[in-house]
Chains A and B, each alone.
Chain A
Amino acid sequence: MVREKETTLYLGPQHPGITGNMMIKLKVTGDTVVRAETHVGYLHRAFEKLIERRNWLQTFTILCRFCVPEPDPMELTYARAVEELENREVPERAEYIRTIVMELARLQSFMLWYAGQSGSAGLYLTGQWSVGDRNYILDLFEELTGGRIYHMYIWPGGVRRDLPKGWKDKALKTMDYIEKRLDEYNKIMFDNTIFQKRAQGVGIVPKDKAIEWGVVGAPLRGTGIKHDVRIDEPYCAYDKLDFIVPTQEGGDVWARALVRQEEARQSINIIRQALEKMPEGEFYNKVPNPMKWTVPAGEAWTKTESVRGEVGFYVVSDGSNKPRRVHVKGAAYTNGITVLEKILPGQNIADVSFILNSMGVCPPEMER
């Protein structure tokens, strides 16, 4: 047999199909990928080094920039780690507000995913609609926290401020609108034969290897394994709320898309429940003067479920006013490097960016 010639193809860092600033070095024969190698570091800002030079509260400005499309899980995970080190109580109302913020963050990130996933299949209309409608969620964030993208809203011990007057009604109204619109996105995206044909049977993550490979989040649930940090190790008010964690069989892009479609709907459900059940009361426990704030020595490992999968924070304190070490394990760190390198061989070149979007590859949290 004549060995076919291999060509090296660089996908990125400047490429319209890549999900952020990263590069994938592909070896291709003809149209088929033979080998893939992820190159990261284009967004390396040395966050973990900078955190060692900031005090416990200054860290928040850096934390939310770890993952740009969805900054809030990072704040929450770190805040929970600090609370664990300090044994700091969180008022119940704050837990509910945090739940709402988390789910709003998930929802807006799902809407960005709609744009990326359908856009990489050549279907741009969904993106125009969903990114346009995403502004309504960002408006809610802006009224609540003061910022559109970066919020720095969740603190150790609670949240920064209470819900503004009239925010609840506005949020419920927005949820009604988004729910109606989600149906329309689904109609033009999931009922589209081209999208179905491209998504089915592409980028398969095998079920028996998924956990061992370190797959997390929607790609894992797309293989039929029900694992979600929100039910395995409940945080915030998730154990008091009633919601479904959807799973699908198959492990291909189609299964992951169906999982995300249902999760977006569940986010709306959770926000509605949390707004209804939220008790009155305090929204934060007073924190010490940030400049003199010291945290007892120790280490904590906390996990949170984001859109892309579980986000883990390993926080070490040596008893001083600065963190000793904050190490972030973003979902994309395994999903976007090792797992991607395993599932890309055998795929078509045109499907690579399609698979990238469905795996939720987010470069800033891979290289930090």
Chain B
Amino acid sequence: MEKENKILEAIKVAFNVEGHIAREKRVMITANKDIVSSILLFCKNQQGYIHLNHMSVVDRIEDGKFELNYIIWSPTEKVTIMLKTFIDRENAEMENIDSIWDQANTYEREMREMYGIQFPGLIGRQDFALEDWDEMPPMRRDFDTHAYAEKTFYQRPGREDAKDVREELTKQSGEVIPDFAKKYSRE
């Protein structure tokens, strides 16, 4: 656990943030949104954490926040840092980090489309995976995908009652279901 302690202490000293070691090779840090890019630059340029593993959003709708996660990894230490920050859900805006890592551009474009988080200065097409989408950003938790699908797409009848298909089939063919098999039926 020396490597993990070393990087955790280094970040704590430099930025005065909270953090803990979740398990072997996992360091978790929570920081204010203003210093996220500074921490990432510090880790990349001075501590050797040069690989951006992942960026993720969790919609904390009950707190009115988006939780952003930056997961970075060091090829020499083999330790993963998970950096977490919270931003407001209303008019969500976050600093653009694609000048630090180019691949962040892809993640941020996806977040912009799926959650409606704006990244000032982000270049690239507005649409990532969707085309001509004019509803609410679909990955937000208040977007009801089932209701939207029922409204938009034709639903073939037969799914809503979820009947035991086997019983229907046996009725047609006249086959008898033995007792031991009946207990797996839906009723």
Contacts and interface: CB of A to CB of B under 8 A. Distances in A.
B58 A316 contact: yes
A67 interface: no
Interface string B46-87: 000011111011110000000001010001001010100000
A49 B145 contact: yes
Q: At the interface, is chain A mostly helix, strand, loop or mixed?
A: mixed
A338 B130 contact: no
A190 B34 CA distance: 53
Contacts of B145: 46, 49-50, 53
Contacts of B127: 41
Nearest to B139: A49
B75 A301 contact: no
A40 B54 contact: no
Contacts of A232: 78
Interface residues of B, number: 35
Contact of A327 (B56, B78, B125, B129): B56
Interface string A51-67: 01100000000000000
Contacts of A37: 125
Contacts of B23: 84
Nearest to A48: B139
Nearest to B127: A41
Contacts of B75: 211, 225, 227
A301 to B, nearest CB: 6
Contacts of A327: 54, 56-57
B136 to A, nearest CB: 12
B26 interface: yes
A182 interface: no
B15 interface: no
Interface in B69-118: 69, 71, 75, 78, 80, 82, 101-103, 105-106
Interface string A12-55: 00000000000000000000000001011100101011101100
A214 interface: yes
Contacts of A213: 102-103
A333 interface: yes
Interface string A308-346: 000010101000000011010100011001110010000
B33 interface: no
Interface of B: 23, 25-26, 50-54, 56-59, 69, 71, 75, 78, 80, 82, 101-103, 105-106, 125, 127-131, 138-139, 141, 143, 145-146
13 contacts: A37-B125, A50-B145, A211-B75, A301-B26, A301-B71, A301-B80, A325-B56, A325-B58, A325-B59, A334-B103, A334-B106, A338-B106, A339-B103
